[in-house]
Amino acid sequence: MKLRVMARLIQIQRVLVRHGLDDFVRETHLYRPLRFVFLASPWTWLERRKEAPRAERLRLALEELGPIFIKLGQALSTRRDLLPPDIAMELAKLQDRVPPFDNETARAIIEKSLGRPVTESFATFEAQPLAAASIAQVHAATLKDGTDVVIKVLRPGMKEIISRDLEVMHELARLAKTHSTEARRLRVDEIVDEYEKTILDELDLMREAANASQLKRNFEGSSLLHVPTVYWDLCRIDVMVMERIRGVTISDMDTLRAKGADIAMLAANGVKIFFTQVFRHNFFHADMHPGNIFVLIDDPANPRYAAIDFGIVGTLDIRDQHYLAENFLAVFDRDYRRVAELHVQSGWVPPDTRVDEMESAIRTVLEPIFDRPLKDISFGTILLRLFDIARRFDMRIQPQLILLQKTLLNIEGLGRDLYPELDIWQTAAPILREWMSDRISPRAQIKHLRRNLPDMLTAMHALPSLVKVAVQQAEDGRFAFGVRSEELAALREEIRLSERRRNGTLVSVALGLGSLLWLGFEMEPRIIGTLLLIASGVMLWRVRRTGRALNRA
């Protein structure tokens, strides 16, 4: 283990102990002798904070440990299958807000990245940041043509900090898998791998700019979502410049009501945006918490969402996308058997799962919530019961779906705050049905054919020569299928060993029978020798024949 990882693990233990989280220290099995040193230290006992609930103390500890632990806590807060309910609810309060770094450092980073003074790139630059988060902070500025923009600047030294803490998380995951069967079932190592990809993407602001550009193109001409313009000539890995959004934050309900915004439309549009991104575009903003969502109310009767912070986006494998859509539609139709069958077909539950039992369990959870508005539905309770089903039927955790689940819960929370009367089923079902219908429409099939036509033509051009070569090889007796594989070689070796064991057994039996004949019938030694020689010859002949056959195979 690297020295810096060990030092960080010790620091993590110290923070956990100081917040009275002894149970977490014991569960991690980290440096047991050192743990007792910490527990025996006077300053540890003097600084222990046990008056607050356990969940609150854990949240405070994560905030103290820094950005990567804050973001991990935010992500885990959406996974009720991984955490007790009190901890999941408390982690949802984690705020990714930290004091800004100094203005001169921010200016120096911008000038170094752009290769010229700030005054040459911008007409104005506000030294005091608009906002500061754990990964970056944002400054207001104007371009030479007077356009209002924001400059996002990566915090100095973040790559080194994140790299170190990722090593720590991998080590913690390894220890958890070693000491906990539940951690092995939950595939904590794969969850950390998935989280690593997400957090590293946030450290590249060029990638974030590309995400924003793609999302803007997807919603071009749409009245649902506005995405700010990216100014590519002023973007670098650690600096990004884009249009400044002037709107009302989605959490400022008093202002939205005072301006006369159509709140019911906003809530319905939030659901439409989610399902459009996930299924029609297969590219979704995966960090849609209230701080990243604004409302443009130039026309209060038709309010429009505006999004910022595109560091975390999600996509789905085509199979996952298909199975999710089918699952949603089956739920909308109350076809619980279909939901259970889809879980088996997708491999999310073992193939020997009793479909009828799973159907009954799903019906018990979902049937009571149909045709009811958000205010009458406890999604937290539903999720807990669904995850109980997951445990009962040994459902495999799907790390690739963590971002989607996080986004879905964000959308549900926004909808509940905006318009608790929203019927999420009636809003979402038409969008999914239209998407499924479009996928199998003649137009979609023709589009798919046109997209694949070049590859098909290339294959058709190559086909005659391939057929000619195959026919010539067949005429010459040289045609063979290339089916040799590691599995086939292993099988062949197993057959060889089996034949050898069987032949050895036969030889031993022959010799044993000869000995019995000798002793039992007191035959002439010459006769016994002859019998043994014949038996041994037969056995050797059989062994050699089997060996040749296996070698030819």
pLDDT of residue 108: 94
Please say whether the beta carbons of 226 and 324 come within 8 A.
no
Distance of CA 146 to the CA centre of its chain: 41
pLDDT of residue 43: 47
Sign of CA dihedral 410, 416, 422, 424: positive
Tokens of 283: 């590219």
Residue-wise burial string across 291-320, b where 16 or more C-beta atoms lie within 10 A, e elsewhere:
bbbbbbbeeeeebbbbbbbbbbbbbbeeeb
The span from the CA of 229 to the CA of 145, in Å, is 15
The span from the CA of 38 to the CA of 42, in Å, is 9
The span from the CA of 214 to the CA of 217, in Å, is 5
Q: 51: which residues sit within 8 A by CB, 6+ positions away? A: none
Please say whether the beta carbons of 349 and 359 come within 8 A.
no
Please say whether the beta carbons of 411 and 290 come within 8 A.
no
In one letter, which amino acid is 157? G
Tokens of 151: 């400059």
pLDDT of residue 345: 83
What is the CA angle 230-236-240, rounded to 5? Answer: 40
The span from the CA of 143 to the CA of 265, in Å, is 35
Please say whether the beta carbons of 421 and 375 come within 8 A.
yes
Instruction: Using 70 as the pLDDT threshold, list the residues of the chain that sit under it.
Output: 1-2, 22-51, 75-83, 95-97, 182-183, 185-186, 371, 373-388, 390-391, 396-402, 440-441, 443-445, 447-453, 461-462, 466, 468, 474-553
- Exposure of 253 by Cβ count < 10 A (0-12 exposed, 13-18 middle, 19+ buried)? middle
Task: Tell me which residue of 286, 287, 253, 247 sits closest to 267, measured CA to CA.
Answer: 253
The span from the CA of 30 to the CA of 10, in Å, is 8
pLDDT in tens, 228-255: 999 999 999 999 999 999 999 888 888 9
Q: Is 287 a catalytic residue?
A: yes
Tokens of 401: 């779906």
Tokens of 422: 């929203």
pLDDT in tens, 294-309: 999 989 999 999 999 9
pLDDT of residue 520: 42
pLDDT in tens, 515-539: 444 444 444 554 545 544 555 555 5
Catalytic residue among 96, 287, 320, 394: 287
| Helix/strand number for the chain, H first, E second | 24, 11
In one letter, which amino acid is 430? P
Distance of CA 193 to the CA centre of its chain: 8
Task: Tell me which residue of 209, 212, 297, 214 sits closest to 249, measured CA to CA.
Answer: 297
pLDDT in tens, 388-426: 676 677 776 665 566 777 777 777 777 777 777 877 777
